[in-house]
Chains A and B, each alone.
Chain A
Amino acid sequence: DAGVIQSPRHEVTEMGQEVTLRCKPISGHNSLFWYRQTMMRGLELLIYFNNNVPIDDSGMPEDRFSAKMPNASFSTLKIQPSEPRDSAVYFCASRGGASSYEQYFGPGTRLTVT
């Protein structure tokens, strides 16, 4: 079975540009999570969805960040405009259900904003 798929794996962009990160969860999983990891702040939850519905976006740092999940097999995280402090590794994770303990992480997208 394919795991969580993220694209692109690496993204280098200039400050002010729009960045879109993509995630395909494991088939059949109904919860999806976006995390960001930096050396300074560690791994932080940005937003999560249950059954394609955003449940908690309190971790989204600013209005420049937005996330969507138009269907059960696809989600995007968009940053517009991007800033150098957004440089981080962004992970998407999915989970099979409320009674399932394990969140399966994708390989991550390493974002560098210059």
Chain B
Amino acid sequence: QKEVEQNSGPLSVPEGAIASLNCTYSDRGSQSFFWYRQYSGKSPELIMFIYSNGDKEDGRFTAQLNKASQYVSLLIRDSQPSDSATYLCAVNMYSGGGADGLTFGKGTHLIIQP
């Protein structure tokens, strides 16, 4: 059974600092990895995806993947109060985005303190 684990938080970070969110997964067959942001009462929205070991940067966001350790992380640089949300880690078995659905972690609640 696929499992995705995240620390539920809350994770409190001062404005302007780096927020580091972590996720581990149980299925070694997992191929692609996603970070979704979900504001309270809203639907999830994709922030980043990664499928190769190493780092992937997009603006203030960096996703990091280590398949040997079954670990994926999201770094948010220059954190802003608008980054306060729940961040969901998700995994998929297929590298091409996925012929199947995603397995989600329960999310980490991030609070950026002004």
Shortest beta-carbon distance, A49 to chain B, in Å?
10
Chain A 40-62 residues near chain B, CB threshold 8 A: 41-45, 48, 50, 55-56, 59
**Which candidate, A18-26, A77-85, A104-112, is the interface stretch facing chain B?**
A104-112
Residue interface bits A88-100, CB-to-B below 8 A is 1, else 0: 0001000101111
Closest to B103 in A: A45
* A101, B46: Cα distance in complex, Å: 9
Instruction: Select B101's contact among A42, A48, A99, A101, beta carbons within 8 Å.
Output: A48
- CB contacts (< 8 Å) of A102 on chain B: these are 46, 49, 97
Verify B43–A45 contact, CB threshold 8 A.
no
* A102, B31: Cα distance in complex, Å: 15
- CB contacts (< 8 Å) of A107 on chain B: these are 42-43
Instruction: Select B97's contact among A48, A55, A98, beta carbons within 8 Å.
Output: A98
Count residues on chain A whose CB falls below 8 Å from chain B CBs.
25
Chain B 39-71 residues near chain A, CB threshold 8 A: 42-46, 49
* A95, B53: Cα distance in complex, Å: 24
- CB contacts (< 8 Å) of B43 on chain A: these are 91, 105-108
Chain B 50-95 residues near chain A, CB threshold 8 A: 88, 94
Q: Determine whether B32 belongs to the interface, using a CB cutoff of 8 Å to chain A.
A: yes
- CB contacts (< 8 Å) of B97 on chain A: these are 95, 97-102
Q: Determine whether A87 belongs to the interface, using a CB cutoff of 8 Å to chain B.
A: no
Closest to A32 in B: B101
Interface core residue of A42, A45, A98, A107 (most chain B CB under 10 Å): A42
